[in-house]
Amino acid sequence: MYSIKELQEIISKEVEGLSLPVTPAELYEPIRYLMAIGGKRMRPVLTLMGCNLFSNEIEQAKIPALGLEVFHNFTLMHDDIMDNAPIRRGKETVHEKWNANVAILSGDVMLVKAYELMMQSPDKYLRPVLNIFNKTAAEVCEGQQIDMNFEQYKTVQVEEYVNMIALKTAVLLGASLQIGALLGNASETDAEHLYQFGKNLGIAFQLQDDILDVYGAPEKFGKQVGGDIIANKKTFLLIKALELADAETLISLERWLNTEVFISEQKVNAITGIYNQLNVKELAEAEMLRYVNLALGHLNQINIASERKQLLDEFANQLLVREH
């Protein structure tokens, strides 16, 4: 079996080899730009891992894996317009470097390209692969819409929040594994368990992200500590704090949420203090662990020798101990 590092190298080569027309430059240059600035290539690596779990031959999964990475980058290109984000992976976003129209249309053609790559699945798997891809692509759009809607809501329930992160992020991780499994000739049942492994792990990963934003060591996490707090982002921590706060704490919390002019450090310290008082970090960790266990339960049910599953175990651990 391939190591994670080997799979990452295979994907790097596939990304470098991605063939796109030269003109019109405004349409294809932004795709090359965004694809080249990197990222962890998590989705295509998962596809190859999913395939390799059931088959020693992974050649047939390389191009569809690339398709999933192109799809993911398409969602980034359009999400960045909608979120008005100036920077992605340390570089100017496409709509900043060019303009919003370029980012819209270049993103559109990227989605078409993603389908073209997904279609390079063997005949036998074409329809099942595209069915999963279609369903997932629609869900990712739904997740982004629900996330944008949350900005307008005063309160959000934990279940709504988990549903949103599942749609926006986790289902694509699950689908990447599932598509890889099918291309490795897994049974439908095993492929479905692998999907559930990826989806639940993705939810856990996102919950960890919420925790790390507040409690992560900045030098390891690579983001501004408290960024979510500063932006009033409705994370698991904030949702839970709003739910659990007594009258007095709620007044204090809402005062910080409604103050437009503030010193960032003071706001972060004050809200972190409330989180600590309400133990929401521990609640988030418990919820995260619940999803990790759900994921591992599905991995456990897959009908292959347990030594083949070690790499996914390792991957899950790599994902989930970024700060410890």
Q: Which residue has the tokens 């990826």?
A: 198
Place of tokens 């390209």: 113
Identity of the residue, 82 or 87, whose beta carbon is nearer to a second copy in the bound complex: 82
Taking the complex as a whole, how short is the minimal distance between the CB of residue 79 and a second copy, in angstroms? 9
Amino acid, res. 107: G
Shortest reach from residue 90's CB to a second copy, in Å: 24
Residue 174 contacts residue 202 (beta carbons within 8 Å):
yes
From 11, 31, 66, 81, residue interacting with a second copy (rule: CB under 8 A): 81
Annotate 102-139 with DSSP letters as a single string.
HHHHHHHHHHHHHHHHHT-S-HHHHHHHHHHHHHHHHH
Kindly state the number of chain residues that form the binding site for a second copy, as judged by CB under 8 A: 35
Selected range binding a second copy among 40-48, 132-140, 197-205, 250-258, rule: CB under 8 A:
132-140
Binding segment for a second copy (CB under 8 A), chosen from 134-142, 198-206, 251-259, 301-309, is: 134-142
CB atoms closer than 10 angstroms to residue 223:
12
Closer residue to a second copy in complex, CB, 148/158: 148
Q: How far apart are CA 205 and CA 199, in angstroms?
A: 10
Question: In the 8-state DSSP scheme, what is residue 88?
Answer: E
Q: Which of residues 5-34 bind a second copy (CB under 8 A)?
A: 21, 24, 26-27
Min CB(178)–a second copy separation in Å: 17
DSSP 92: E
Q: Is 149 in the site for a second copy (CB under 8 A)?
A: yes
48 vs 11: CA distance, rounded Å: 9
Counting contacts by CB under 8 A, is residue 41 touching a second copy? no
Q: Measured from the CB atom, is 143 or 174 closer to a second copy?
A: 143
Question: Torsion-angle region of residue 26: left (phi > 0), alpha (psi -120 to 50) or beta?
Answer: alpha
Instruction: Spell out, one character per residue from 91 to 130, where the chain touches a second copy: x when CB under 8 A holds, - when not.
Output: ---------xx--xx-xxx-xxx-xx--x---x--xx--x
CB of 76 to a second copy, least distance (A): 13
- Residue identified by tokens 């992605």 is 88
Alpha helices in the chain (DSSP H): 4-16, 25-36, 42-54, 62-82, 94-97, 100-118, 123-150, 158-165, 171-183, 188-215, 218-221, 227-230, 236-244, 247-258, 264-278, 280-301, 310-320
Q: Give min distance, CB of 271 to a second copy, in A.
A: 28
Of the candidate spans 41-49, 131-139, 168-176, 261-269, the one that interacts with a second copy by CB under 8 A turns out to be 131-139
Residues of this chain that interact with a second copy (CB under 8 A) are 21, 24, 26-27, 78, 81-82, 100-101, 104-105, 107-109, 111-113, 115-116, 119, 123, 126-127, 130-131, 134, 137-138, 141-142, 144-146, 148-149
